[in-house]
Chain A
Amino acid sequence: MNVCNQKIFKELYFQWNEPIQRFLQSKGLDLHKAADLSQDVFEKMWKNCATITQQKAKSFLFTAANNLFIDDYRKKKTVLKYNSEFISGMEKKDGQYLLEMNEFKDQMEAVIESMTKASKEVFMMSRFNNMSYKEIAQALDISVKAVEKRMSKALLHLATNKIKIKR
């Protein structure tokens, strides 16, 4: 079954559009560029829908995102936000807590920013896009071992460039 059926296509769109955006942000694009490119990726899938089966759709999307991605020279700042679960829990907390969390967020962005590009993208895909090492390896067309190496470098970087955390 290929993905030319509009209902199937729409399901895939809703399932994978935002993960693809996060994938592209991990590679260094800002919110808007990532959204635009993710739209291109889905257009490409529709154009070629006759040759793509439902099972292959996910790997097609990530591979296409990886191939369409063009390294932008300007360095993008990593931008994180609080998730809704955290925000809803925030009402019960005092202002001091909020300040400390804001500081944590800024420092976290900065320490991610100071990683090498290869480590940063793997770390962000794993941490903020819930991708397994195998999924990252397939999307970037590298070996799982290489992903593990980059991930370990990223974690070592975090462990040696300590920021203030609440114990």
Chain B
Amino acid sequence: MDDQKDILLAKWMDQSISSEELMTLSKDVDLDYLDTLLKQSKSLELETKPAEQMWESFNFPSKVAEVPKRRFINWLIFGVIAIIIILAFLFYNPKKSIKTGIKKTQNFAFIDGSKAYLGPNSMISFDADNYTDNRTISMKGHVYFEVEKGSTFTVKMAGGSVQVLGTSFNIWNVNDEYVTVQCYEGSVKVINDKVNQEQVISAGQAVSFNNNELSDVHSMSRKRPDWMDNQRIYNGIPVNLFLKDLSAYYGITFSNGDINSKELISGIYPTDDIDKAIKTIEVSNQWKHEKTGDKIIFTSSD
């Protein structure tokens, strides 16, 4: 069926079909039969475990701490953090840097209330003395920023930079060839140093550098980065970078046996359940895995 016709049956069942469309459709499809079949199938259903029975075995897990809202108490916390930072700067090198290792994430609040959420194996650094005048941050790895309004906030990374006024955005900087920037609020300007290209994206949009070329802007529906919800979504990334990135969440080395490193991976993978992650990798790519020590090697399953 052609493009117009291929949704007619769905519209027929939904009773949103026009009489003209119905004429066309009834020539191709035995609608009387289909109607009787569907009516008769009303006597059938899917069996479920009754909710009453399920409820009895439901265990309330402990809650994840509430995401702080901007209320007085939080300003107080930021204030305290800010004072600690100021005191720390009086005694230490003004070049401040925050690093996370394998399996670790960390949140950081700047003096102006802007925040950075670091994924595993990531780093930010900035000149704490001049931060108020010059909001410039260097980063590596995977960082989500929530920027308070003010002067231009610049994030520098291998291969380029991102400039904003006040907004939320996520950067995944694998190396100078692979960078993804996702914008969740306001708008950001993404700059690719190597080819001197610029692209402005707004809330709900993302853009990547891929082999020194800025990709087309694509839209996304998430409200915050995938890794903050314990999963990673990949859209065509080479096998070696994929395995390296996912390794950082588990502290286990993943490597590819006979699988070509340049093969592209897409899909959604959990970052909080190693068994599910391995299973998902196996099923969606038709690989199998082998464990040696704290290393997991994937090979093609045939």
Chain A residues in the interface with B (C-beta under 8 A): 4, 10, 13-14, 17-18, 21-22, 25-26, 31, 34-35, 38-39, 42-43, 46-51, 67, 70-71, 73, 79-83, 85-86, 101, 104-105, 108, 124, 126-129, 133, 141, 145, 147-149, 151-153, 155-156, 158-159, 162-163, 165-167
Are B10 and A83 interface neighbours, CB within 8 A? Answer: no
How far apart sit A85 and B8, CA to CA, in the bound complex (Å)? 31
Chain B interface residues (CB < 8 Å from chain A): 1, 6-14, 29-31, 33-34, 36-38, 40-52, 54-55, 57-67, 221, 231, 268, 276, 279-280, 283-284
Does the CB pair B48–A35 fall under 8 Å? Answer: yes
A128 & B45 in contact (Cβ 8 Å cutoff): yes
Docked-complex contact B43 and A83, CB < 8 angstroms? yes
B12, closest chain A residue (CB): A155
Asked whether, in the complex, the Cβ of A50 is within 8 Å of the Cβ of B7, the reply is no
User: Contact between A152 and B37 (Cβ–Cβ < 8 Å)?
Assistant: no
Closest 6 CB pairs of A and B: A86-B43, A148-B10, A152-B9, A50-B66, A151-B10, A148-B7
Assess A10 versus B55: contact at CB under 8 Å? Given A50-B66, A70-B283, A156-B9.
Answer: yes
Chain A residues closer than 8 Å to B36, beta-carbon distance: 165-167
- With A42-B58, A159-B30 known, 15 other A-B pairs at CB within 8 A are A4-B63, A14-B52, A17-B54, A18-B51, A21-B46, A21-B48, A21-B49, A26-B46, A43-B60, A47-B62, A50-B64, A50-B67, A128-B45, A145-B7, A148-B11
- Does B33 lie within 8 Å of A159, measured CB to CB? yes
A133 CB, min distance to chain B CBs, angstroms: 7
DSSP majority for the A interface? Answer: helix
Q: Pick from B7, B42, B268 the residue with the most CB of A within 10 Å.
A: B7
Chain B residues with CB under 8 Å of A153's CB are 6
7 residue pairs bridging A and B, Cβ less than 8 Å apart: A13-B54, A38-B54, A47-B61, A49-B63, A51-B64, A81-B45, A82-B45
Residues of chain B lying within 8 A (CB to CB) of residue A156: 1, 9, 29
A101/B48 in contact, CB under 8 A: no
Residues of the A chain whose Cβ atoms lie less than 8 Å from the Cβ of B14 = 133
- Which of B9, B54, B65, B283 is close to A35, meaning CB atoms less than 8 Å apart? B54
Shortest A62–chain B CB gap in Å is: 14
Cβ B6 vs Cβ A152 within 8 A: yes
Query: A17 touching B51 by the CB < 8 A rule?
Result: yes
Instruction: Give B44 Cβ to nearest chain A Cβ, in Å.
Output: 4
